[in-house]
Structure 1
């Protein structure tokens, strides 16, 4: 991911408030029109949003203080697009925002999925220290430089590349992983195909730095793709690779020494792996062309149901390149007869400037849940433990904690993308497996309140008990999060006089037999609960008789304008 160390240093970013932009602005705004006047050779960062933003739905723009895009210009990016060797497949999608808007629709399979699995799976799990940003900090952070030197040797003698032979994945069993994912109740799986470190986890012909030729000598993505689909789950890939170009920024003395010795970062055999020795415009263009080629290879080899990008593609000056890959991917999907989608953060695919005007992409929030209901279609990527990549001392959240997060997200109309952290030997640690299996057991009982649902008129209440609401058809689900409340519970949101349409006719608890007795007055709906809890975490009441609001997803994924 791109922001976690920044968050530690500067604090989590804060949502601001902004009014909805008119839909026609999405088409009129092109990458050139939304860019500030460029100074020769200077990066063209997106200007900050100064208008108020809608905090309730998590509206945001491309806050350039935290992006990981290559520090370049629109001219360089347009030059890269001209060098792209691959031709666009025939189909309705052209590399323009207008074409994307006219032809894109959120995949129907995603609308009701509500729970997927993500993972940070890569070389950083070998040192298993601090985070998946190990490469950046072993060359740039004073304490990490010293720690690496103490445990593995000086950076000029043992660089990040030297972890590749140790990333052997000898215990990796794709079928066992896929069976675990199925039991967890997840509906789709998105492993890391490539992280910021530039190592490809698949059998690649467009980069030599890949898992088939080095390290495990296996097509890890290919094996997992086959196993996951055999379980009937959707399979996507995440690509953080565009962030590699300027990911490593060592101190001057380290750079000078390595340059003089032609060691590690300046080793001729590894210059294309690190992208440190040459950061000229020509080098950046070649890098961007290769980024495109790697995505094309992933698309053609694995036909991913979702192509997920991190913050590195956010900036507007990258729009011409993003539009090329979007048109390629969506036209390919038309040829396959599949519903697919790109997923991005902030305003990466929102040329009008904010994420309520996204075109051709499902919005992803990194570890942040909007505080209110956000209609449309969106997801939150959230980690199962204390770090995204595997670290030897990471803590792992309980199933009850993750279920609470899932319920909160779904009550606001979103989807949870839960990150896992596999080890360098190919094992998913036992603690993570236990949490996944317990989530699956809960969903076996309570999945009707999650899958295929949408938000109610309010997402929940936080009185004596934390309650979250979801809707499916004519049923309202009230999910009691936390400890078992005891003999009864009062739901104040269902009090008489609350402008509710219809009359409650029955209340049941998922996992328990028979109807529950209840009474309703001006203070709320009081429900007498079963004597024995049906599960070990959140408890779901199914309430019928009231008239429910309609589904709130949109074909574009954007919030419904009001």
Structure 2
């Protein structure tokens, strides 16, 4: 199907379908029930940028910025950019040790419910079989449909398959290579790997340097091809789609995708950042951060096991499993979901550090998952002195929680109270559940600790619900299950 025919197909779908390309129609979208219940997913940044494994997944941009550390590193290790450019990493990206089934088993052990590989990053290299461009893993590099292999392996194990597209930023991502003698030079045309390499705009400018219709149509078709060929349950967008020029095409894509979900017979969703979508038309996402308070709407945070990079780089600065688990508990208590990123090596192996963190999370969820999965928020998200900083890019420093920090979730007739840092003396005081509390007037029939046989001692007073489990130690959150009448 040529470009014109594909665009006609998109328009025909919108004309015939339930969802139209306007905000009023798109706000009829409902968040899928499975998504709200899943709570924990895996994000995967893996691509050509995993070959140099230096700086970050933005290597393709930064290696062309004169004077940057990536530029100097490239000169030292690979030579001049006009002799060895980013495209020359493609044959080195062979994924020779990639096994989708091994990844799927790991993610299942980690307790994830959905998995979201990056299908195309800013560099413009597609991780799947595509009719839009020859620069994809089926025709180059591994010579395999990596995304297709992942979909089959994940779905076989009951993991919900999702995709992420970061193509929007490719409009300017390779532009700095035109500023000196490199392999990024005119002439270039649609379909070329580096095309269009336009001047990089101010990232806060929502109106300047608008992409051309040719580029936007190419972007739309690439996104719709992913939908048609791989039927993802969630489609994630990175940040630059909030540029004003994208809006008509974004609405077309959303209508097309939501209509496809109706055709397939299962609900789908879109993730977005900033205000790229009208509120209520998709699921908001907070990059490397979260909300300080409970939200009445479902939301997601995406963050990574490493603080410095989304992809594998040598000497990544890793978070601990304990701090990620605490973030998961905090996020879920506020009606959110955690999408946690790992960065595999270019050969397809998962670094030991990433693997160990995932398995540690999985061990905790094996014991405490009933307080996470399929739960909903309570009247308040929690209590305690620790204030969580709100907004994106706020998770660079570990939060210092205390034994007074409690987070709540609820399911059926049970209320779960997670103690973020279990006290050495084994005594926990929950003020929100005290006698006469404005938050709770019910009857507590029983209290037990998930994963522990011994019954704790508990009593309510006008000061607090006090639960004591002397002798118990834990470096991760401890969850009390309160059976209510």
- Return the offset for 1:266: 3.5
Structure 2 match to 1:129: 54
**Superposition pairs of residues 134-173 of structure 1, within 5 angstroms:** 134-143=59-68, 144-173=70-99
In 2, are the aligned partners of 1:344 and 1:363 still within 8 Å (CA)? yes
- Return the offset for 1:447: 0.6
Deviation per CA, 1:254-289, whole angstroms, max 9, x where unpaired? Answer: 0xx34xxxx44447599722124678x998322211
Which is worse superposed, 220-229 or 327-336? 327-336
- Return the offset for 1:334: 1.4
User: What secondary structure, in the 3-state scheme, does the structure 1 residue paired with 2:26 have?
Assistant: helix
Quick one: distance in 2 between partners of 1:147 and 1:317? Answer: 35
Structure 1 match to 2:232: 304
Structure 2 match to 1:337: 265
- Return the offset for 1:91: 2.1
**Superposition pairs of residues 47-86 of structure 1, within 5 angstroms:** 84-86=7-9
Aligned residues: 452
In 2, are the aligned partners of 1:197 and 1:244 still within 8 Å (CA)? yes
Structure 1 match to 2:318: 396
Answer yes or no: is 1:512 the counterpart of 2:452: yes
In 1, are the aligned partners of 2:104 and 2:154 still within 8 Å (CA)? yes
**Superposition pairs of residues 223-372 of structure 1, within 5 angstroms:** 223-250=149-176, 253-254=179-180, 257-258=181-182, 263-266=183-186, 272-276=192-196, 284-350=212-278, 357-359=279-281, 361-372=282-293
User: What secondary structure, in the 3-state scheme, does the structure 2 residue paired with 1:273 have?
Assistant: coil
In 1, are the aligned partners of 2:170 and 2:197 still within 8 Å (CA)? no
Answer yes or no: is 1:458 the counterpart of 2:380: yes
Structure 1 match to 2:349: 427
- Structure 1 vs Structure 2 CA RMSD: 2.4
Answer yes or no: is 1:538 the counterpart of 2:464: no
Instruction: Provide the TM-score with structure 1 as the length reference.
Output: 0.76
Could you tell me which runs of 5 or more consecutive residues in structure 1 were left unpaired when the two chains were aligned. Answer: 1-79, 351-356, 547-562
In 2, are the aligned partners of 1:265 and 1:271 still within 8 Å (CA)? no
Quick one: distance in 2 between partners of 1:429 and 1:269? Answer: 38
Q: 1:293 to 1:219 in 2, by over 3 A?
A: same
Flag the structure with more relative contact order, 1 or 2, with Cα contacts below 8 A and sequence separation at least 6.
Answer: 1
- Return the offset for 1:376: 1.4
In 2, are the aligned partners of 1:506 and 1:516 still within 8 Å (CA)? no
In 2, are the aligned partners of 1:81 and 1:321 still within 8 Å (CA)? no
User: What secondary structure, in the 3-state scheme, does the structure 1 residue paired with 2:192 have?
Assistant: helix
Quick one: distance in 2 between partners of 1:341 and 1:151? Answer: 43
- Structure 1 ranges of 4+ moved more than 6 A: 80-83
Quick one: distance in 2 between partners of 1:189 and 1:291? Answer: 23
Q: 1:517 to 1:81 in 2, by over 3 A?
A: farther
Quick one: distance in 2 between partners of 1:431 and 1:253? Answer: 38
User: What secondary structure, in the 3-state scheme, does the structure 2 residue paired with 1:403 have?
Assistant: helix
Quick one: distance in 1 between partners of 2:462 and 2:329? Answer: 27
In 2, are the aligned partners of 1:203 and 1:212 still within 8 Å (CA)? yes
Quick one: distance in 2 between partners of 1:91 and 1:247? Answer: 35
Structure 2 match to 1:69: none
Deviation per CA, 1:274-307, whole angstroms, max 9, x where unpaired? Answer: 124678x998322211111111111111110011
Structure 2 match to 1:373: 294
Quick one: distance in 2 between partners of 1:374 and 1:513? Answer: 35
Quick one: distance in 2 between partners of 1:321 and 1:502? Answer: 51
Structure 2 match to 1:45: none
Deviation per CA, 1:399-449, whole angstroms, max 9, x where unpaired? Answer: 211101100101111000001111111011111111111111111110111
Instruction: Provide the TM-score with structure 2 as the length reference.
Output: 0.88
In 2, are the aligned partners of 1:512 and 1:530 still within 8 Å (CA)? no
- Return the offset for 1:474: 2.4
Quick one: distance in 1 between partners of 2:149 and 2:437? Answer: 54
Quick one: distance in 2 between partners of 1:175 and 1:270? Answer: 35
Answer yes or no: is 1:492 the counterpart of 2:417: no
Structure 2 match to 1:29: none
Structure 2 match to 1:445: 367
Deviation per CA, 1:28-70, whole angstroms, max 9, x where unpaired? Answer: xxxxxxxxxxxxxxxxxxxxxxxxxxxxxxxxxxxxxxxxxxx
Q: 1:266 to 1:523 in 2, by over 3 A?
A: same
Q: 1:282 to 1:516 in 2, by over 3 A?
A: closer
Which is worse superposed, 306-315 or 281-290? 281-290
Quick one: distance in 1 between partners of 2:335 and 2:210? Answer: 44
Deviation per CA, 1:177-221, whole angstroms, max 9, x where unpaired? Answer: 001111111100000000001100000111111011111111010
Q: 1:479 to 1:473 in 2, by over 3 A?
A: same
Q: 1:408 to 1:266 in 2, by over 3 A?
A: same
Quick one: distance in 2 between partners of 1:230 and 1:98? Answer: 37
Structure 2 match to 1:63: none
In 2, are the aligned partners of 1:490 and 1:525 still within 8 Å (CA)? yes
Answer yes or no: is 1:110 the counterpart of 2:110: no
- Return the offset for 1:134: 0.8
In 1, are the aligned partners of 2:27 and 2:280 still within 8 Å (CA)? no
